[in-house]
Amino acid sequence: MQLFKTQKHTCAFIGMIHLRALPGTPGNSLAMNAILDAALYDAEVLTKGGCDALLVENMADLPYLNGHVGPEIVAAMAIAVDRVVSRFDLPVGVQVLAGANCEAMGLATCAGAQFIRAEAFAYAHVADEGLMNASAAEVLRLRKHLNSDVKVWADVQKKHACHAITSDAKLVDLAHGFEFCGADALIVTGVSTGCEAHIEDVAQVRPAGLPVVIGSGITAANAAKFAAAADGLIVGTSIKVDGNWRNPVDLARVQAIAREL
């Protein structure tokens, strides 16, 4: 099952663009032009290295707000996404941390992106931002209001979170719940950024009938294994210089994964 048309790989290779800390966030030290230059550099390397799609995220905006972000973040990310969409002929996605899924849907629609990555889409969990509740009803009503065709890729039991609140539900049941709430694809992750997912979890969410994407822990060493089981691989940490997500993208690391697909 393909997430979008690609001639490069049978399993889609989605490369992460981690924006530098945006204006108004505690870690911000760069002017907007420098932030955009860094994003476009990463996009160019990811494209050259063989990615099938790009995903833009405000990962450096630590600590994250819960469920909503300010207009300055929406504006900054919309500019960045527009620049990437305009310059590169690849599908582009958006994630606005943490769980700011309506903002992601709005800016993705206006900036020409094809999909959003949504945490806290269905059910609830406790993350380091606090309790995060489901947002599917609001996100899909906004999509309808905007007459948008932006797809929603939803994290099931997302990383960096505790899931005791849904511990009486099996993963397969949660996956069916996400499908019931209108997700277009499901994302399976490990427990934190850079941590490998459990291959068995892919089989657990398959019965929901949606494309399945691995959202963490992909390296050149395990890419082939996960590519055989999933429809897409989102890769961020291992394709950066020294394997550090805060660093620029490393062309050789991108190409090493692409060769496995």
Q: What is the pLDDT of residues 4-56, one digit of tens each?
A: 766 678 899 999 999 999 999 999 999 999 999 999 999 999 999 999 999 99
Q: What is the pLDDT of residues 172-207, one digit of tens each?
A: 999 999 999 999 999 999 766 768 889 999 999 999
DSSP 7: S
- Report, as an integer, the average pLDDT of 68-93: 98
In order of their start, the domains of the chain are: 12-259 (3.20.20.70)
Pair of tokens at residue 163 = 């899931």
Cis-peptide into 71, omega within 30 deg: no
Q: How far is CA 103 from CA 11, 28, 100, 167, in A?
A: 28, 20, 6, 29
Helix 101-111 × helix 71-87 angle, to 10°: 40
How wide is the angle at C-alpha 169 spanned by C-alphas 163 and 170, nearest 5°? 100
pLDDT confidence tier of residue 254, bands split at 50, 70 and 90: very high
Q: What is the pLDDT of residues 211-247, one digit of tens each?
A: 999 999 999 999 999 999 999 999 999 999 999 999 9
**pLDDT score at 163:** 78
**pLDDT score at 221:** 97
- Report, as an integer, the average pLDDT of 51-78: 97
User: pTM higher than 0.85, yes or no?
Assistant: yes
67: region left, alpha or beta (phi > 0 left; psi from -120 to 50 alpha): left
Residue 170 C-alpha from the chain's centroid: 23
